Structures are given as structure tokens and as C-alpha cells.
Chains A and B, each alone.
Chain A
Amino acid sequence: MAAAAPSNFEQPACFAFDAQSEAELAMLIGRYPAGKQASVVIPGLYVVQHQMKRQTDSAWVPVKGMDALAERLGMAPIRVYEVATFYYMFNMAPIGKYHLQVCTTTPCWLRGSDEIVAACRAETGIAGWKETSADGMFTMTEVECVGACVNAPILQVDDDFYEDLNGERTTALLAALRRGEKPPKGSTIGRQNSAPEGGSQTLLFAPEA
């Protein structure tokens, strides 16, 4: 999916880091030796994206944001554009309030990601990938393995994983998000991290001496 050309949609006229972003950037830049600030570019793009989410309810990276980051890191703007467009995690166009990232790679697919996709489509009315619902609440993206296969299937909402989903719980999750609630992230069937379903399966008793 090629990123849309930046001139295809409205870009903000200016971008300035807010106090929270400044603090995050200062912390990030401090991690690297002087002269190596360019290493901050990927986390820095997240800073831009999060600030856009805070300010506009749409987590994306505008050109002015990349320019501001490039200036801060002493890089040519085009070097930042290259990185930002390379990675899927950065949205180069405005998105909905919640970014639904459905994993459809084999483990999730075997565990029923089709059901999640169908539930998302039904609940949000989105027809295709990278589209935004009519109410501007949701943008749905198909992603490759997010690395949580043990708790498949996964729906990543913005930065949070919702795990062990099925169609019903997905619908409930989206309804809650629409109401402005923020259900706890992690497994939706109550298991602890990636521990087995239904509690411990091994080491149930101390071995006899």
C-alpha cells in the first residue's frame, strides 16, 4: 500500500512540539551520544504521531511534523520522509480516532481472524483496508504478525493489543470504544499474559521427594 502523496489531502500549515513531546524528545535525544541524534528518528516519529493524536484525535504524521523533527535532529527532511514512508506504523494520511490493526497472519488467521475482520466491518461499516468509517471513529488496517501469536487472534487498537478475541467480544470492544470507554488491554478472556487458558497446566503440585 503506497502512502498517499502528501499533496492529496489537507496538511496542517504548521507544527510545533508541545510540552509533552518536548520532554519525550529530550529524553530520547539524551540516549544517544552527541552527533548521533539521527538515531532518534523512529521514536521521534512516534512522538509526532502521538502529539497529532492528542491534538487532533487522529494519529498521523504530517509533513510539517517531519520537517520539525528533521530540524531538531539535524537531518535533511527527505531522510525523515524516507524513514516515515518505509514503516507501516506511521500513518502518512489522517486516520480515524481509533486505529484498528487486525493481524491476519497465519496463527491469527487459524485462530479466527476472519471473524474479527467481519466483526470490525459490521460494527464500523468500513468496506476495505486503510479506510475510515463514516463517523470518523475508526480506521481499519490489515497488519502482518504483531508478535503475540500465543494470544491469537489479535486486534491492535492504536498502541494497545486486545488478545484472544472472537467476533462477539470484538463487537463489544468497538462499542465500548465508541462510547468513549477504554477497556483494559491484554487478553479479553482473563488469562494472565500468555499463561495457559484456564489457569496453570503444569507444576500443579510439588514433586515428591
Chain B
Amino acid sequence: MPKLTIDGIAIEVPAGSTILQAAEAAGIEIPRFCYHERLSVAGNCRMCLVEVEKTPPKPIASCAYPVGEGMVVHTDTPMVRNGRRGVMEFLLINHPLDCPICDQGGECDLQDQAVGFGSDSSRYDENKRAVKDKDLGPLVKTTMTRCIHCTRCIRFITEVAGVPELGATDRGEHMEVGTYVEKALSSELSGNIIDLCPVGALTSKPYEFVARPWELQKVDSIDVLDAVGANIRIDSRGPEVLRILPRLNEDVNEEWLGDKSRFSIDGLKRSRLDRPWLKKDGKLQAVSWAEAFSAIADRTKGLSADRIGAIAGDLCDAESMLALKDLMTSLGSANIDCRQDGARLDASRRDFYSFNTSIPGIEEADAVLLIGTDPRKEAPVLNARIRKAVVANRAPVGSIGPVIDPTYKTVHLGFDPSVLNALHNGSHPFADTLRNAKKPMIVVGQGALARADGAAVLAAAWRLAASVGALTADWHGFNVLHTAAARVGGLDLGFVPGANGKSVAQMLDGGVDLLWLLGADEIDTARVGANTFVVYQGHHGDAGAHRADVILPGAAYTEKSGTYVNTEGRVQRGFKAVFPPGDAREDWTIIRAFSQLVGKTLPYDTIDALRARLEQANVAFSRIGYLPRFGCSDLTGPSGDPAAVGDAPFALAVENYYQTDAISRNSPTMAECSATKPELAAAAE
């Protein structure tokens, strides 16, 4: 731990730190463009100059200069100031003065640092260089003349996203950042280069010329479009969500966000349900809340509790699921299920259905086995963590299921579950890799569980994890990767069929006469019998609403304060950014209001009371944000029979990353993204 002095402040930092990191630890701001703490050091912008005593008398780039014992650093001497002023003058030589028409204006590092560290005028009066804009696809807009060649985007795409498609071609004054051959970026994390770009060279295409940062109201929330639970900030103006940005959370998404989570927001403005509807004479007609409720209440009268059922969808908050479960329980029905895809998840113990290694824990893994999952499409941010482990620990990765390209090298072990047995009995060569690893990680995807032998696959994966030493007192290497933000919350609340209760499949196949769909759109509504009375409660006129007899308009995730549990089992809470459109209401209040009508008033009137009930239902809900890590002390596996696995090849749960739920399916931006993928276009034909 070298000790050094920066501007008179003595500080001790870990060996190998750079001066810039030491200065940050001492609370001293050093301007920078190319340096980024999550990317490799490039050292090419020269903005972070400092002066170090007893070195040759020239400014030093602090981002690339390791600290030494007894070093004395000055960050505010005339030499440093002149140096930075000179660098800034050079950067601005070719940078256009188009701030008034630049989307970065107001949140631009170059603007801020030019004010803070630059000079008031330029001595350059030749022509500025102009660079042709690049077409990077439907998400990232380029204005390459503004580029200052910090290469952050190149390093991000290469190192974090693992899809090396950006580079710097040509040289010197002619250097250009781009793909050289025109192509859309294929990464699911491409939106992050917009955040990384310190200038306005890369900006958001859908957000082009929409708003200035100071007009926006910023609300913290949680993303629900995959099961990672990325922390987001919702920027809105008036009734409209204008953009979504990632929020820093080292334990979940670091500072990254998947493209679907960032750009689906235009789907929030389309096909919205903004008033109750009731089917009369075979046609849906707009009605009042009272009328819609009484229609449902009439229908429940005289219906045996056994003939009433509820299915929760993929985007639901825990509060509304609990309210619906309580309603069903009070009506006497055990027919509830949150596993729309029919995944044979075992809800009896929490570590049977969660990502136990935890997302930060992935970084410790030294061998990975993916079973029926493509994490790149199912959870791109989590996939970036796996990539980090693969790069840092040289962890070998094996995959069972369709051949995938998760941006790191994988060994394809087979297509069907029989490989699990071969791995278990050691006859497969990859078994030794897992056994020899200190912290092996097994990831089971929904594609492996949403099938007839899903329970057996789950049990076989658990058995394999136990046999290769993935389940120890201080390491839990058994993971279920979910694709639905609501799933773990639903399982935590026991939103699964109770005693003699009916599952999704049984409810769809005529098992109930009244079916309450809480945002459930990913079910096959054609299977629902003609005589089943369907109540659809949700925010989009998608599959579920098309079949509904009564539509109760709910709120999307940006319009309600909700609790979500991510695939790890981490409980997180988002806040309301805008109001639901029209007559739509927050979902738990709808259920609470209806319960009163049928004389089964739920015992909570406020969201706080409901949250107290949440904690009562499962103690996990008392820990918001924080997730303790456990090893595995009980090796007893899930209820399935590991020997009963079939031989049908695994399919993937997510074929098209960009369109997985009611919001993204209604987003024109996401439709454009799908269109740029030739393999998706081919599959659609």
C-alpha cells in the first residue's frame, strides 16, 4: 500500500493504483475523457495531466501512471493548468461548435470540462475537419464530426459487450471511429456506448431532439423487461416517459443496461388500455369501473371456488400478485400460477429457483455450465458478468442446448438432457473440468424447464451441481436464470397452485370458468375455452386483452411504485415516474376495490399496509436491495426424478431478444431492431 501526497493530502492506496484513482480516493477531481473505470486504460485524451515531483519536468497523464511510495503529486499548478488548457484547445480544434443543436448539450463532459479547465478562446482559425456519419443501426445516432477519439465506445464493445465491431480506422487527422464496413451493431448492450460517449458523437436515435436534460423529472426505478432487475432512472416530462438510463448498482447491473430495457419505452405509448372494457353481445364496449366490476362479481356468483383461477404475467409487481393471491384465497380458490411458460420450477425452497451464485458472485466462478439457456438474449447484462469471469478467470464454459454465441468461447456439449447424466457419471470429458474447478457454476435456463420433463431436468442439474462440488458451505453454484421479472417474486409469494390447485396448462384447458389474467400475455389464449369468462388486468392491448371478456386497465412499471424480485432473489423497489393513462389504476388498488365488491375486502388500504403484508408473506421482502449470500447446506434436491429426463433437444426461452413482452412487442424501435437481425427475419418467414 504505497503512501503518497496529492495536493498536500496524504493518502494510502492499493499498489498498482493509478494517480487518477488515488486522486479520486482523496476527493480531488481530475478531468478525463478517455479514462473509464470499467474499461482498459487508453491514455489517449491527455486531459488528466498532473505534475509529479522529481520526475522529468513535464506533465504526466495520471490515468496511466502508477502510484509510487512517497510520490508528491500536484494537480493544480500552472504547468498542469496550462497543459490541460492546451489539450482542451486541441480537442476543440476539430470539434464543431454546434452545442445548440446537439443532444448531448447539458450533459456533455466536453462542455463541462471546457468551462472548468479550458480557455475562453481558440487560436485556431483554419477549416475544421468533417467526418461522414456512420449508420450503427436503429439505436445509436452518430455525429462523427463531434468525435474526440477517446475510444471508449471501441473499448466497451470489445471488452464488455464482447462483440468487437467498432474500431479506429485510418490514422492521425484522418482517424475515424466506426465499423469500417457499414453495419448495425449486433450487441444487445449497444445503447451503453451512448452513455459512455463523453461528447455528442453517439446519441440516442429514438431520443433525437426530444428534450434537454434540465427539463426532465428523474425517478429511480427497476427494470422489468428481463429478470436481472437492472437499476434504472426514468426520465419523464409531464405524462410521458422520454428515456430510461441505467443507474449505478455494482451488485446488479454495474452501470450497464440492455437495449430492450433502454429503448422499449415507445411501447408504453402504444396499444395502452386506458379505460375498462366489457364484452357485450360479442363486442368489447367501454364501460365504467363499476360496471366492469359488477360484471365480474355477477359471474363469480354461484361459481364454485374450484372453477375460478388466476395467472400472473411476467411484468407484475409483487404487491399486485400478493393482492390477487389473497383475493383468490379469500374466494376459496387454490388455482393460481405465475409460471406462464409452464416451467417446472420447484417453489418449495428458495435456492431451487433462484440465481444463488448472485450476480457479483459470477465473477468468482472458474467454470460455467449453461443448460438450455442463451444468457446473451435472456439477460444481456448478466451475460456481461459471465463474460467478465470468462476473461478474468479463464473460466471454461460449456453449453447444452442449441448452439449459441454468448460473446465468449463456449464448448458445445450436446443438444438434449442426456448430457446431464453423462456429466454426472463422469463419462463426459467436461465433467472433469467442472470437478476440478474450485467454484463451478451451473446455470439452468427456462428453455430447459418449460417442457414436460422440466422437473427432471431441474433435479438432474441439481444432482450434477452437488456431484461436481458446486454446492458447498461457502459456494452455491446452482443457478436458475429467469426471463421474467415477476417470476421469482411470484414464487416467493407462493403464487403457484395450492392443494388440488390447477396449473396454467390445466386452467387454460378448460379447468376454470373464470380466469383472471394479471398481465398474462405469453400464454396461448386460443386454448382458453369459449365458455371461460376471462378477466384481463394489465396495461397493454396484447394477447391477453384480445381474449378478455372484461378488461381492467392497470399501470405499467413506470406508472406504479412496485417491488420486484430479480433472478437472484434480490428484492428491489421502483418508484412511480408518471401517472397511468386515462382511467387506468395501479394494479393492487384494482384488486383491492374489487375485493370489497364481492364482500371479501382485503385487509390493506395503503401501499404501506400491503408491503407489511408482503413481509409477512415472505420475510425476504423485508430486505430491500440487499441480498445476503449463502452457501448450500442442504443437498436434498428438488422433487423431480433426475433419471426421468427425456431426449428431446432443449429449445431456448428467448428467440428474439427485442420482443419478449407486451411493452417491447408494441415498441416500433424494438421492431426495427428485430428487422436488423437477418436470422430473426429468416425465422419469421
Contacts and interface: CB of A to CB of B under 8 A. Distances in A.
B685 interface: no
Nearest to A81: B180
B167 interface: yes
B166 interface: yes
B168 interface: yes
B132 interface: yes
A79 B179 CA distance: 10
Given A5-B132, A6-B181, A78 B165 contact: yes
Contacts of A6: 180-181
A208 to B, nearest CB: 54
A79 B170 contact: no
A34 to B, nearest CB: 16
B171 A81 contact: no
B126 interface: no
B169 A81 contact: yes
Contacts of A85: 169-171, 180
Contacts of A19: none
Greatest chain A CB density within 10 A among B166, B167, B182 is at B167
B661 to A, nearest CB: 32
Interface in B153-190: 158, 164-171, 174, 176, 179-182
| Interface bin, chain B | 10 to 19
A2 B174 contact: yes
| Interface bin, chain A | 10 to 19
A202 interface: no
A2 B170 contact: yes
A3 interface: yes
A144 B174 CA distance: 17
A162 to B, nearest CB: 27
Nearest to B172: A86
A79 B167 contact: yes
B174 A78 contact: no
Contacts of A76: 158, 164-165
A86 B171 contact: yes
B182 A3 contact: no
B167 A78 contact: yes
Greatest chain A CB density within 10 A among B168, B170, B174 is at B170
Contacts, number: 41
A63 interface: yes
A78 B182 CA distance: 11
A5 B174 CA distance: 12
B239 to A, nearest CB: 43
Contacts of A79: 164, 167
Interface in B273-329: none
A7 interface: yes
A91 to B, nearest CB: 14
Interface in A70-110: 76-79, 81-82, 85-86
Contacts of B171: 85-86
Nearest to A86: B171
Contact of B166 (A7, A78, A86): A78
A1 interface: yes
Interface string A1-21: 111011100000000000000
A78 B183 CA distance: 12
Contacts of B170: 2-3, 85-86
A60 B174 CA distance: 20
A63 B181 contact: yes
B132 A78 contact: no
Contacts of B132: 5
Contacts of A1: 174
B186 to A, nearest CB: 12
Interface string A105-145: 00000000000000000000000000000000000000000
B12 to A, nearest CB: 39
Contacts of B164: 76, 78-79
23 contacts: A1-B174, A2-B170, A3-B174, A5-B132, A63-B180, A63-B181, A76-B164, A76-B165, A78-B164, A78-B165, A78-B166, A78-B180, A79-B164, A81-B167, A81-B169, A81-B181, A82-B167, A82-B168, A82-B169, A85-B170, A85-B180, A86-B169, A86-B171
Given A63-B180, A78-B180, A85-B171, 16 more contacts: A2-B170, A2-B174, A3-B169, A6-B181, A7-B181, A76-B158, A78-B166, A78-B179, A79-B164, A81-B180, A82-B168, A82-B169, A85-B169, A85-B170, A85-B180, A86-B170
Closest 8 CB pairs of A and B: A76-B164, A78-B167, A2-B174, A81-B180, A85-B169, A82-B167, A86-B171, A85-B170
